[in-house]
Amino acid sequence: LTQTPMVVAFAAIPIVLYALWAAVRVMRPGGQLDQGYAIADDMMEPLGLKGIERPQWMPMPYATGDVHSTVSGPTVLGGTRHGREVVVVLQGGGSQLAVACQAPAFTLKGGDGVLHAGDDVPPAIRGAIGTLAPAPVWSSARVESADGRLLVTRRRGGQKRWQHDLWLAERLADAVAPARG
């Protein structure tokens, strides 16, 4: 019976219809994807953050006639913590975390488990990073201060480490300008 092409074609119809129904349940407004993002917002609320931008799901047709899906764009979290605006951008395995803070311009580069300070780093920042124990988490971090914010970036592993970066940025911001509220 399964050797007959017509039987196989008719058997495929309910499978295809179920797949379409399941896709609609996930992707429609208020569907399972939106519900998942709402749960993520609830989880971020104690941190004072919420989703302000999310990646877009896109069907991608291939020359072979196949259609695959992909996710394009960043996940962006934002909010106010301790009186400072915070923005977290997660994309492609990397991350950028910005905390509003008026601080002199400086750069820190992670390597060998520590944050290395250049000559331009203020004494308060040197003191704050001097209390950090060496740890692999600091090796891939880069910290810059400019334009009224502290920016911590990672090219890879950032989506797993952004909470460390938030802690670090707030610690450094407190070293140069203690938080309000």
Instruction: Please answer whether residues 93 and 159 qualify as being in contact, where contact means their C-beta atoms are separated by less than 8 angstroms.
Output: yes
Q: For residue 180, name the pLDDT band (cuts at 50, 70, 90).
A: low
Whole-structure pTM over 0.85, yes or no? Answer: no
Adjacency order of strands within the sheet including 149-154: 49-53, 75-81, 84-91, 94-100, 149-154, 142-146, 106-111, 114-117
Partners of 154 in the beta sheet?
A: 95
Q: Is the pLDDT of residue 181 over 60?
A: no
β-sheet bridge partners, residue 18: none
| Confidence at residue 70, expressed as pLDDT on a 0 to 100 scale | 79
Pairing of strands 56-61, 84-91: unpaired
Tens digit of each residue's pLDDT (9 = 90 or more) over 149-161:
999 999 887 678 8
pLDDT, tens only, 8-46: 778 778 887 787 777 777 777 788 778 888 898 998 999
Average pLDDT over residues 34-59: 87
Which carries the bigger pLDDT value, residue 62 or residue 111?
111
